[in-house]
């Protein structure tokens, strides 16, 4: 008599079922299709934010939202769990299943690599003139508020408030930031993703308070998020003093300076900076044009990577990035450029690198090796079984007396 | 279970932060704007290219404070000259400040540009590195003192001329102070020139501290507090860096990337302190890296453990000594060089003190080096 399955066992069966795996793959297919359509109107950044997120993605067609699908991140998380439970927990751990188990492990690892990249990966760029050196890169679209004390002749330490701590602040929302190093509290509010800062006139409404006659004029975000310029309101609360307020804007020419406790601090809104585990110095940038044209045929940079182990000279060119300690630097552009790619006469060229800091940079490669090993074992075993079976049949046939 | 925990750990940061947040990210301030007015109005901060909002251009001279030496005259300036002075009122002499964006081509190129104006041979980067410093914008700046036949911009050669200059490179721009004139006149105005450079600083950023005389790197005392110059330096923002006793005859070098402390010893010897995150490759690797720079045989763990130990930041660390042809980074390269180094490996941040230069100079400075290392005090 068959034993009835317990509830946890049934749940485990569903989570690890082949059917759930198919549903996940089906959803991923349609999320990719609708995400691509969404990208046409809203740009890559918005598509990634909307479709690769944890929450539900709206499926829009003809200007109307038809339904919501779970975001790619959620589906991939479910798929990872499904593979883990189905391919590793539910499967019988026998010698003959070793290849399949290893393949599943590899796939889970591959999906985890994607998850880590999505949640922990950083992307940005750095721009260098020959002789310049930098040990950080700047985000394309994320922002940060930096606060540092103005002291003569010194560049000490700066306090940094990352994008995720204020980008959710709407016109009404506000958040207070404190630090034992600051003699004041900083209140941020009214984050605007894309805006101009203009003298307030009668024909437009400012987003948030008008300070010193200036206000933020909200604009529709660009398709390419790197062209957006953010704005934000800030207030400084000092014990026993009138709060000071100011506007922070991504293109401001000077930081906002506040005074508290007889000390002066600068508050700046700028693209988020990510430190690199090494420093990079541009030695030479070379641009080769097509014959008779100002359009670049190729361009490349000779850089020196500097870290505790010494210096290393490296050539970065198209499809040959610098890859070090999880950071990858790609040759991506140059400047200054006129429309069409020509360089204004007399200008010094600078080189632009795309930078990716991905803790799981090498994981996909490792997982490929694991999957390859699993497939080799699984198929090798199948081949071996087949050969054995063939041999047995051949022996059986040869043992039989030939029929008349 | 395992994927669930992993997912939670990854998703957790996506949750909305609370209403009051303590700022947790602190890092060394880099590439900060150097020249801006703390008193800037919103109009100045947000100036646009739209003519309706056009503001008068900021006079760069207003961004600086300085003390004009006695007997010198202020000229209207113009062009690239932010501050234009006439030393001793002598029309043959001139002294002016210029500010360029970026590194202005770098210290070595500019020193050699000035040398070329006086008909002198160019210097190598190592020789330029070893130039003395003077105080400019309250920081050590490369100092240049040249004699020769001066050819300025389109001028005829003037014999017996001199050029005294100072240059300071920062990621926000480069400052040049240049004084030219007859050699004997400039010699007489040397102190005035140095005091002018020393007096030059960013305006507005520290008005409230005006009238106090503080060495660079120190806070002014709180209002009402008693001044205690001997008291250890305190730093509210956790300023990275070290306090130390400067050995006799050593001098401060110009600031350099990565170097917390940069000192010059003798003719061309350099001594500097670098701090790297974590263990930076560990003790054995770093010792052998240094040894490799002078082509010395590497040491195994037992060899490293047997090295003489010296005191640094309240701990003990090995003293690495080697000599040979130096080919390492960040120092003068050449034959018959010597290297002294103390690597203090710590899990949080490792400190490397290194001296490199001609063997005779380094050997003569060995005792002072050990004393210097022992005198280091972490200011954090």
Q: How many CA atoms lie within 13 A of B68 on its CB side?
A: 13
Q: Judge: B238–A157 Cβ closer than 8 Å, yes or no.
A: yes
Cα(A13)–Cα(A8) distance, integer angstroms: 8
Please report the pLDDT score of residue A161 as a whole number.
Answer: 95
Q: What residues in B contact A214, CB-CB < 8 Å?
A: 42-43, 46
- Specify the DSSP element, H or E, that contains A28: helix A18-42
Q: What residues in B contact A165, CB-CB < 8 Å?
A: 17, 21
Q: Is the peptide bond before A336 cis (omega within 30 degrees of 0)?
A: yes
Q: What residues in B contact A249, CB-CB < 8 Å?
A: 46
> How many cross-chain Cβ pairs, A to B, lie less than 8 Å apart?
194
Residue in B closest to A251 by C-alpha: B46
Q: What residues in A contact B45, CB-CB < 8 Å?
A: 252-256
Distance from CA of A215 to the nearest CA of B (A): 10
Please indicate if any CB of chain A lies within 8 Å of the CB of B211.
no
Question: Which among A157, A136, A143, A276 is positioned nearest to B27, based on CA atoms?
Answer: A157
Ranges A15-29, A56-70, B233-247, most confident: A15-29
Distance from CA of B243 to the nearest CA of A (A): 14
Distance from CA of B183 to the nearest CA of A (A): 31
Please indicate if any CB of chain B lies within 8 Å of the CB of A199.
yes
Q: Which B residues, 273 through 292, put their C-beta within 8 Å of a C-beta on chain A?
A: 276-277, 280-281, 285-286, 289
Per-residue CA distances from B44 to A192, A252, B66 (Å): 21, 9, 23
Please indicate if any CB of chain A lies within 8 Å of the CB of B16.
yes
Backbone angles phi, psi at B359, to 5 degrees: -55, -45
Please indicate if any CB of chain A lies within 8 Å of the CB of B9.
no
Please report the pLDDT score of residue A369 as a whole number.
Answer: 96
Comparing A43-47, A77-81, A94-98, A400-404, the range with the smallest average pLDDT is: A400-404
> Who contacts A82 (Cβ-Cβ below 8 Å, separation ≥6)?
A15, A16, A17, A20, A21, A24
Please report the pLDDT score of residue A152 as a whole number.
Answer: 63
Q: Which two tokens stand for residue A215?
A: 């206000």
- Reply yes or no on whether the pLDDT at B251 is more than 60: yes
Q: Which residue has the higher pLDDT, A357 or B212?
A: A357
- Reply yes or no on whether the pLDDT at B211 is more than 80: no
Ranges A311-325, B171-185, B226-240, most confident: A311-325
Question: Which among B171, B135, B138, B202 is positioned nearest to B29, based on CA atoms?
Answer: B171
Please indicate if any CB of chain A lies within 8 Å of the CB of B258.
yes
Q: Judge: B289–A264 Cβ closer than 8 Å, yes or no.
A: no
User: For B84-117, what is each residue's pLDDT tens digit?
Assistant: 899 998 988 999 998 876 666 678 888 888 898 8
Residue in B closest to A54 by C-alpha: B11
Rg, Å, chain B Cα set = 25
Residue in B closest to A189 by C-alpha: B19
Q: Which residue has the higher pLDDT, A341 or A321?
A: A321
Please report the pLDDT score of residue B296 as a whole number.
Answer: 83
- Reply yes or no on whether the pLDDT at B169 is more than 90: no
Please indicate if any CB of chain B lies within 8 Å of the CB of A60.
no
User: For A110-159, what is each residue's pLDDT tens digit?
Assistant: 988 888 888 888 889 998 888 888 899 999 889 999 998 887 655 678 99
Q: Judge: B201–A153 Cβ closer than 8 Å, yes or no.
A: yes
Please indicate if any CB of chain B lies within 8 Å of the CB of A130.
no
Q: Which two tokens stand for residue B41?
A: 């109005």
Residue in A closest to B203 by C-alpha: A152
Task: Among A159, A277, A279, select the one facing B26 at the smallest CB separation.
Answer: A159
User: For A169-187, what is each residue's pLDDT tens digit?
Assistant: 877 788 999 999 899 999 9
- Reply yes or no on whether the pLDDT at B335 is more than 90: no
Please indicate if any CB of chain A lies within 8 Å of the CB of B137.
yes
- Specify the DSSP element, H or E, that contains B98: strand B94-100
- Contact criterion met (CB below 8 Å) for A159 and A148: yes
Cα(A168)–Cα(A193) distance, integer angstroms: 10
- Reply yes or no on whether the pLDDT at B225 is more than 80: no
Please indicate if any CB of chain A lies within 8 Å of the CB of B35.
no
Please indicate if any CB of chain B lies within 8 Å of the CB of A254.
yes
Q: What residues in A contact B36, CB-CB < 8 Å?
A: 253-255
pTM to 2 decimal places? 0.53
User: For A310-325, what is each residue's pLDDT tens digit?
Assistant: 889 999 987 788 988 8
How far is Cα of residue A280 from the mean position of the Cα atoms in its chain?
Answer: 22
């Amino acid at each position: 008599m068959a034993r009835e399955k317990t509830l946890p066992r049934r749940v485990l069966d569903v989570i690890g079922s082949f059917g759930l795996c198919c549903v996940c793959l089906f959803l991923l297919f349609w999320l990719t299709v609708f995400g691509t359509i969404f990208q046409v109107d809203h740009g890559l950044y918005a598509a990634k934010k909307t479709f690769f997120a944890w929450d539900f993605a709206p499926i829009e067609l003809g200007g109307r939202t038809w339904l919501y699908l779970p975001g790619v991140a959620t589906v991939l998380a479910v798929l990872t769990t499904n593979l883990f439970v189905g391919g590793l927990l539910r499967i019988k751990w026998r010698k003959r299943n070793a290849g399949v188990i290893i393949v599943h492990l590899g796939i889970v690892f591959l999906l985890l690599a994607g998850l880590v990249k999505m949640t922990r990966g950083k992307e940005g760029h750095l721009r260098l003139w020959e002789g310049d050196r930098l040990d950080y890169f700047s985000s394309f679209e994320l922002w940060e508020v930096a606060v540092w004390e103005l002291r003569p002749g010194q560049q000490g330490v700066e306090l940094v408030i990352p994008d995720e701590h204020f980008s959710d602040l709407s016109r009404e929302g506000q958040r207070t930031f404190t630090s034992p190093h600051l003699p004041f509290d900083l209140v941020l509010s009214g984050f605007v993703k894309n805006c101009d800062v203009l003298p307030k006139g009668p024909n437009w409404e400012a987003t948030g308070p008008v300070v010193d006659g200036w206000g933020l004029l909200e604009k529709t975000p660009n398709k390419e998020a790197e062209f957006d310029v953010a704005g934000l309101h800030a207030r400084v609360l000092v014990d026993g003093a009138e709060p000071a307020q100011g506007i922070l804007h991504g293109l401001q020419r000077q930081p906002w300076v506040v005074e508290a406790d007889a000390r002066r601090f600068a508050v700046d809104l700028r693209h988020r900076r990510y430190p690199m585990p090494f420093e990079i110095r541009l030695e030479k940038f070379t641009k080769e044009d097509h014959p008779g044209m100002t359009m670049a045929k190729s361009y490349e940079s000779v850089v020196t990577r500097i870290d505790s182990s010494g210096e290393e000279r490296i050539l970065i060119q198209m499809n040959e990035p610098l890859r070090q300690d999880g950071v990858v630097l790609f040759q991506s552009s140059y400047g200054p450029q006129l429309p069409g790619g020509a360089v204004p006469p007399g200008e010094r060229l600078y080189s632009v690198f795309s930078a990716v800091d991905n803790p799981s940079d090498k994981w996909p490669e490792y997982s490929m090796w694991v999957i390859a090993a699993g497939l080799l074992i699984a198929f090798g075993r199948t081949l071996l079984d087949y050969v054995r079976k063939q041999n047995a049949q051949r022996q059986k046939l040869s043992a039989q007396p030939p029929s008349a | 279970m395992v994927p669930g925990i992993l997912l939670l750990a990854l998703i957790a940061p996506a949750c909305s932060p609370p209403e009051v947040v303590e700022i947790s990210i602190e890092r060394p301030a880099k590439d900060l704007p150097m020249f801006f007015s703390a008193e800037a109005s919103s109009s100045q901060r947000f100036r646009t290219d739209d003519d309706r909002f056009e503001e008068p251009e900021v006079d760069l001279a207003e961004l600086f404070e300085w003390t004009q030496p006695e007997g010198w005259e202020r000229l209207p300036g113009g062009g690239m000259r932010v501050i234009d002075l006439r030393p001793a009122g002598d029309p043959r002499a001139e002294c002016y400040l210029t500010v360029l964006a970026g590194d202005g081509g770098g210290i070595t190129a500019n020193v050699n540009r000035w040398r070329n104006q006086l008909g002198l041979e160019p210097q190598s980067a190592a020789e330029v590195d070893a130039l003395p410093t003077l105080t400019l914008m309250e920081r050590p700046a490369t100092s240049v003192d040249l004699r020769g036949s001066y050819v300025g911009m389109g001028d005829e050669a003037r014999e017996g001329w001199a050029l005294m200059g100072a240059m300071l490179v920062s990621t926000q721009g480069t400052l040049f102070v240049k004084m030219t004139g007859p050699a004997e006149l400039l010699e007489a105005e040397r102190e005035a020139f140095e005091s002018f450079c020393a007096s030059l600083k960013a305006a507005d950023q520290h008005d409230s501290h005006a009238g106090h005389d503080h060495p660079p790197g120190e806070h002014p005392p709180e209002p009402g507090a008693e001044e205690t110059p001997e008291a250890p330096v305190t730093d509210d923002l956790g300023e990275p860096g070290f306090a130390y006793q400067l050995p006799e005859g050593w001098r401060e070098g110009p600031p350099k990337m990565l170097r917390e402390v940069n000192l010059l010893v003798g003719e061309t010897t350099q001594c500097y302190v670098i701090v790297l995150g974590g263990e930076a490759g560990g003790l054995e690797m770093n010792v052998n890296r240094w040894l490799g720079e002078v082509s010395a045989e590497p040491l195994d763990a037992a060899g490293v453990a047997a090295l003489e130990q010296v005191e640094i930041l309240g701990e003990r660390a090995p003293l690495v000594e080697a000599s040979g042809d130096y080919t390492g980074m960040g120092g003068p390269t050449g034959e018959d060089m010597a290297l002294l180094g103390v690597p203090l490996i710590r899990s949080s941040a490792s400190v490397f003190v290194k001296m490199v230069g001609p063997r005779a100079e380094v050997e003569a400075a060995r005792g002072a080096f050990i004393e210097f290392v022992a005198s280091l005090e972490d200011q954090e």
